[in-house]
Chain A
Amino acid sequence: MRKIGKQEIEDIAIGAALLGTGGGGDPYIGKLMALQAIEEYGEVTLLDVDEVPDDALVVPSSMMGAPTVMLEKAPSGEEAIEAFQLLEKYLGKKIYATFPIEAGGVNSMIPFALAARLGLPVIDADGMGRAFPELQMVTFYLDGIPATPGVFADEKGNTALLSTINNIWTERIARAATIQMGGSTMVAMYSMTGKNLKESGIRNILKLEEEIGKAIRFAKQNNVNPINEVLNKVGGFELFRGKVSDINRKTETGFARGTATFDGLNEYKGETLKLSFQNEHLLARTEQRLLCVTPDLIAVLDAETGLPITTEGIRYGARCVVIGIPCHPKWRTEKGIETVGPKYFGYDVDYVPVEELMKKGVAL
């Protein structure tokens, strides 16, 4: 058990942007909400998973919908509280603690903003170890934990309690309702027991995010290379170094989908990297080789500062280092690959773990 204050929030936000692998929404507004809540209500208690009783009711808190819209709405914070209250009333049980549903982006910050106001602890675990776009893309789903009964709430005061036949339906109904409710909602789904979380959650993810953020901060202060520090922390691989030479976003579907091309620098000179993204970076390959593919993590970092760059932030001429990080073993199962592997996102390649790709390379 330890306390999370403002500096920890700043560090976690940087780590969250990195594990967000280009998506998940810029943690900016979430960070402001968390900082403000800590300013008003004091530091937040962070629990290790093992400190949570097996029978405790624990509920992740997150936003759903377009982070861009949330950036405009500037949530009041009441939405998330109302969602928790309705869920408690329905289940007839007090919520013991909250935690992030995903490690990446804005959703890594929401639990802190809520926990500070409700005086709840936050648990150091999540359901992805990264960011993914859909509700069923969590390790809890792989272990058969239902998303519902769950609640989503908007800033107008509407709350909706949902009970579905499976998590795919939860995604369909909640997504459609979220659009109606103003483009983004606050969500309290995948309520579970402490025992569930111990078995199905990804542990120590906030600690990892904080260490990533710290490493980047210290590297800057001490004038050392941040990329190596980050790679050491996450056990990752440098996939490529290059300059963005082309960026192609298709907007017809209303989804941030596209590819970015990097011209190699230094030892990668003469090679080009193509990075495909759909909200998150999902596939990295050169003309000859596959380098890294979802669910393994692909992050694009500023070559100088080591700070992560989102898909929206990729600009012509930016000098970047693209890194690959092995995903949690839970994703490397048959059901995991089926849920979040390359085929699900429409890429016709087979999943091969990044460390194997690094060893021998797979010709395309």
Chain B
Amino acid sequence: MKLGIDVGGTHTDAVILRNDGKLLSWKKQLTSSDIISSIELAAKEVLSEAGIAPHQIDGVFVGTTHVQNALYQPVNLSKTALVRITKKPSLVEPAVLWPNQIKKYIEKVYHLKSFYDYTGTMSETTTPSHDEIKQICIDIEKNKIESICIVGVYSPLYEAEEIYIWESIKSHLPEISITMSHEIASIGFIERENATLLNAIFSKVIRQAMIDLSVLCKKLLLNCPCWITQNDGSLMEIQEAIDYPIFTIGSGVTNSFRGASILSGLKECIVVDFGGSTIDIGKILNGQPEASLGSTSIFSIDVNMQVPKMYSLPYGGGSLISVKKESVQINETIVSDLEQQGISWGGNTWTLTDSFLKVYPGSFSDEKMTSKGLSKLSTEACQKVINKVTGEIKEKINRLELKSEGFPVVLVGGGSSLLVDRLFGKYKKVYHPAGHHISNAIGACFAPLSAKTDKVFWLNDRTKQEVIEDETESLFQQLLDKGAKSESIELVSIEEFPFDYLKGEVLRIRLKALGDLEFG
């Protein structure tokens, strides 16, 4: 039996699934500010409704948008020190183009001299001296730094330098959280540094929630493993989530995409997740959420790590509608509780959901709804809202499609009922599976284990094929160690990136392997 939990910005959902995938029970709670009390409530209720004893649960699967939310409302961020290891201080200073409200958390920058060359030969015999590192540690303590970030030039080729500095600092400051860049992202110094800095700055955000989660599992007598889903939709352990919070930034939405695939039984589809504050549109290929390629940006900070490939429209079911100079506007602000303030529930706030219900009253209903207030809205204005929303969704779907005949579309999320029959008429297959409103929590239960590598190799003494074989073997071993079923393990992607304008045999290789969790 699996317990799946999705902690969203507004709601926390819990589901109990049998290992064969059958849904036994589900519950929805408003998300509490500490997240943990809403998880506790939802988990308790869903267990009791299914009549399941805690010891029958084989695994707890949690997805959360907690870190992502922290970006938009910066709270609990860490004062961070950056240790840069380069040949000479770079002309480009850290965090050049960052927004100030996040940049201000970078308290100190230290420079150490790199002893590596890109060929891997140590060009200088002197490693940074113990005195030098000790001085840095004293300064870090004096400045009450909470988190450290180590970024060494060429670390995607050779990580030893970062590890050496990490060990030296740990020997002086054993308690402090330290992020090393080679564990976060690949080649491209500035973008890797950005991602690593973000991880360090977020080190406190998820820590308490994760510690509380471990405690809660014990309290509820859930003595099974507890997993968090990460950006690529695969699982990581609680300790990993504490160490790499940046990897959970896309956690919620990948679960939703995966859930849509599970619920519809489709291995290839476009997913539209219609939520309260955003509408996310993504793609499932071979049963897996598609990841972005190349650089991306988080809160307008350039980073070179993989996140789910998706388009996010900045509005959802709870967005406020206003009319300015005869043009209808969908605002990015949302009502705090749609079922209190929305016109369709007797409130007096005109929302996106109300616009749909005005034109298509039968889209969905619950006992608390009333159509009284809707009569004062203009049908024409509401139709304009609907046209804008469906038009933009269709345009994004179109961008994700490979061939003109296209993929089927799966609608999920709390607002998805509004879209049924509104998108393509008979021209395209659109699914609206049962369980669409708990797609995230269900998706989390089906997340696989993953292992990946993204490194740069010299092919002097080995062929490309040998490098790939060696790395694949090590990935498979990692998956076995994490508890994957050996027959389920497979290499799902091999990507190669040559170094342009350089005729040498140097190649960046990115490999990813997946495996299913072994139960019982």
Residues of A within 8 A of B (CB): 23, 25, 28-29, 32-33, 35-37, 64-69, 71-78, 113, 133, 155-156, 175, 179, 182-183, 243, 245, 249, 251, 253-256, 263, 265, 279, 304, 311-313, 315-317, 319
Contacts and interface: CB of A to CB of B under 8 A. Distances in A.
B294 to A, nearest CB: 6
A133 B91 contact: no
B369 interface: no
- A-B residue pairs, 5 tightest by C-beta: A77-B91, A76-B88, A74-B90, A66-B502, A66-B499
A66 B156 CA distance: 16
B190 A256 contact: no
A355 to B, nearest CB: 30
B92 A32 contact: yes
B190 A23 contact: no
Given A33-B91, A76-B86, 14 more contacts: A29-B92, A32-B92, A71-B189, A72-B154, A72-B187, A72-B189, A73-B189, A75-B90, A75-B91, A183-B499, A183-B506, A255-B503, A256-B500, A316-B402
B357 interface: no
A67 B500 CA distance: 7
A76 B500 contact: no
Contact of A71 (B188, B401, B402): B188
Contacts of B508: 68
B194 to A, nearest CB: 11
A68 B403 contact: no
Contact of B88 (A23, A78, A312): A78
B167 interface: no
B89 interface: yes
A73 B442 CA distance: 44
Contact of B96 (A36, A113, A315): A36
B268 to A, nearest CB: 13
B519 interface: no
A300 B238 CA distance: 44
Interface string B395-406: 000111111100
A28 B192 CA distance: 14
A171 to B, nearest CB: 12
Contacts of B91: 33, 36-37, 74-77, 113
Interface string B278-302: 0000000000000001100000001
Interface in B489-504: 496-504
B511 to A, nearest CB: 15
A23 B498 CA distance: 13
Given A76-B89, A76-B90, A76-B91, A254 B153 contact: no
Contacts of B507: 251, 254
A360 B119 CA distance: 52
Contacts of A65: 501-502
A255 B499 CA distance: 7
B104 interface: no
Contacts of A77: 90-91
B367 interface: no
Contact of B87 (A68, A69, A155, A311): A155
B504 A179 contact: yes
B502 A74 contact: no
A123 to B, nearest CB: 22
B368 to A, nearest CB: 40
Contact of B500 (A74, A78, A113, A279): A279
Contact of B502 (A71, A183, A313): A183
Given A69-B502, A71-B189, A78-B88, A182 B117 contact: yes
A23 B404 CA distance: 29
B486 interface: no
Contacts of B119: 182
Nearest to A244: B402
Given A72-B187, A254-B505, A254-B506, A263 B403 contact: yes
A245 B188 contact: no
Interface residues of B, number: 46
Contacts of A32: 92, 96-97, 190
22 contacts: A29-B190, A35-B96, A36-B91, A36-B92, A67-B500, A68-B497, A68-B508, A69-B118, A69-B502, A71-B188, A72-B154, A74-B92, A75-B90, A179-B502, A182-B118, A183-B506, A243-B402, A254-B498, A254-B504, A255-B498, A317-B400, A317-B401
Contacts of B504: 179, 183, 254
Contacts of B132: none
Contacts of B496: 249, 251
Contacts of A263: 403-404
B364 to A, nearest CB: 33
A253 B503 contact: yes
Interface string B94-137: 00110000000000000000000111000100000000000000
Nearest to B155: A72
A183 B90 contact: no
Q: Counting chain A CB atoms within 10 Å of each CB, which of B156, B399, B499 scores highest?
A: B499
A74 B117 contact: no
Contacts of B190: 28-29, 32, 71, 74
B470 interface: no
Nearest to A114: B91
Contacts of A243: 402-404
B93 interface: yes
Contacts of B118: 69, 72-73, 182-183
Contacts of B89: 76
Contacts of B93: 36
A114 to B, nearest CB: 10
Contacts of A69: 118, 499, 502
Nearest to B304: A71
A254 B89 CA distance: 30
Contacts of A179: 502-504
Contacts of A23: 500
Nearest to B157: A72
Given A71-B190, A77-B91, A312-B497, A175 B503 contact: yes
A319 B395 CA distance: 11
Nearest to A80: B91
A251 B503 contact: no
A254 B123 CA distance: 25
A350 B245 CA distance: 56
